[in-house]
Structures are given as structure tokens and as C-alpha cells.
Structure 1
Amino acid sequence: MKPMTFDEIQDPIIAMRWLSNVEGCFFTCSCPTDQKVRCALNMPRSRSKDWWRLMTRLYTDDHRAAVTCDQFKEMFRTRYIPQVERQWLAYEFLYLRQVMESVAKIRRVFTERTMFCPKFVSEQAQIKHYLSVCKTDIRPFVATQRCDTVLELQEASRWREIEIELQLWEQRQVPTQL
């Protein structure tokens, strides 16, 4: 499956992606539950490998082999996705506003930060919040669209952004009258 390796990057979003990729590999390969930690431990590199050795230095071989996948994930989250960072990313999500950013950038940030706000799991909650994030020249347009998913809402936002850009371009093309 060639899952991505992990090298102690101090970025909780990258760490969450890595954990998600590992879980995806387990699912795809039908990895037996008792082998998941053993498989996951082949992916950390250098400093993150050192972290695992340090965490388990006092474990016996049997104790180390008995670490469950859930225990491993909790240990990993504690180290690479600390609670303070999760709270900060949730705060960024809750107060996210599109000012000068493109729809593409806001979409990316919105999606990344959603992982840290479990109360925004439902599609309707995400739609409502995404509307509050949109620029004032985009929000009224997309609010009137019938969008059943966040993806549809983001696409409508992009269409509106393109329309605004075209209008500005056309205004620059009109010769001024003397």
C-alpha cells in the first residue's frame, strides 16, 4: 500500500492525515487487529521512531506487543496532536472568515479545520458554518442557491468568485471616455 512515512513533523494536520492514511491502509489490506500496531510502527522515521522507543523503553517485549491500536493512536495523538493544538485549530475553524483569500484557499482551510470540530460533523452544520465564512460579496449569492452539501455550496462560491473576477476584468477593459 506504501502509506506515507512520518518524521515527527510538528503539524497536527499532517499528523491527523498520517493517522488517517494508516487506518485506510489497515482497512484496505484487511489488517488483523493484533497486527495493526506492528504494521504502523514500520512507518515512523528518525525522530518519531525515537519517540516510540522512548515511550516504550520500560516495556517488556510482551507488554510492547500487547499495545492495542487504540492505545497506539492515543499515544500518537497525545504526542503529535496535543489537546492545546486541537483546541486552537477548532478555534480557527469557528472564527474562520474569508477576507482576501480565494474560495480554493478557504475551502482547504475549512476542510482541514473541520477535523477538529466534531460538532460540525453533520452536513447541515457545515453548510451553515461555511455560509458564515464566505466573503460579503459571495455570501448573498450562495445563500440563495439550493445546496444540499458543503461541496455544492463551495462550488457555488467558486462560480460567484469567477463571476466577480470576470466583472472586474471587463471593467478594466472598457476604454475611458474623454
Structure 2
Amino acid sequence: MVDAAFSGFRAYAGRDARIRKHRTNLRAALRGLAVGTVLLLAPALTAVVLLLASADPHRTYAALTAGGLGYLLPLALYATAVLLSLAAYLLLPFRASTLAMVVGLGPLTLLRPLAVAAACLGAFLTGGWTSFLIGVLAGAVVLSVEPLVHRHWYRPAHATSDSAAARH
């Protein structure tokens, strides 16, 4: 959910040249949070269906629990690195915080898909195919929030030429 809020913020970032953007930043983060919350229902409902359809729900639950822990370990390591970079950005003087942004937060954002892939692998190794299915679905959801928010709210309007407008 936190990642979804950051994804909403990233979808909006750089679209507005105003200095004071607290409300619009908050709105963008809330949009990401809303989209992420709705989309995360898919893996949750899939897990419920798998549990209900399972011949041995206790075994399936144990596999999903183990897979969930395997999924969380790489993400916890990634989140720790992000939080340390974010703390450096927020607490250090201007030049050092800019360096923290360039050296830490920028590359870590680019590494998100690899962190999700590592989480999916962790789910598979600890919980098997059932956990892997839920992990891949959750990973796809996490990685799709930013593009969906961007496409729905922040995509630039297409300019139409006079000749194209005249044809319609």
C-alpha cells in the first residue's frame, strides 16, 4: 500500500512547476493508494479461492504463509534501502540530500522490478507454485499502479491540428 502511494506520487512528479505542491502531491499519492488498494484485491481474492478450492486447506494455507514470508524478505531488504535513502534525502542538507536522491532513490526506483522478481522467486522457493502464483499476481499489481495512475490522470493531452479538427 505504501508502494502504491509512492507510485501515485511518481506518476505525478515533474508535471507541475509550482513550488508549493503539497495538495497535488497528496492527491497523487492518494490516487496511487486507491488504485493499489483496488488492484491488490486480485491476489487476495485469488488466495481465498485457492484456499476454498483446495482439497487440503491447511496445507495450502501453510504453503501460502511460507511463500508470503519468502516474498517479504527481499522486499523488506529493498524497503530498508529505500527508507535509508529517503531519510538521508529528508534529513541532510540540500547538497547531500540531492546526492542521496541521485545515488539512492533514483537507482532504487529503477530496481523495483528486480526486487519484485526476487520476491516472486522467494515465494516460489519457500512456498511452491501456489505461492508463486499469488506472488506474481501481487507483483504485477504493484508494478502496474504507477502506469495506470499516469495513464488515467497525468497523460498529456494530445494536440489536434486544425486540419484534423476540420475533418471531424
Common topology (TM > 0.5): no
TM-score relative to the length of structure 2: 0.25
Greater helix fraction, Structure 1 or Structure 2: 2
Q: Which of the pair has the greater relative contact order for Cα pairs under 8 Å at 6+ separation?
A: 2
Q: TM-score, normalised by structure 1?
A: 0.24
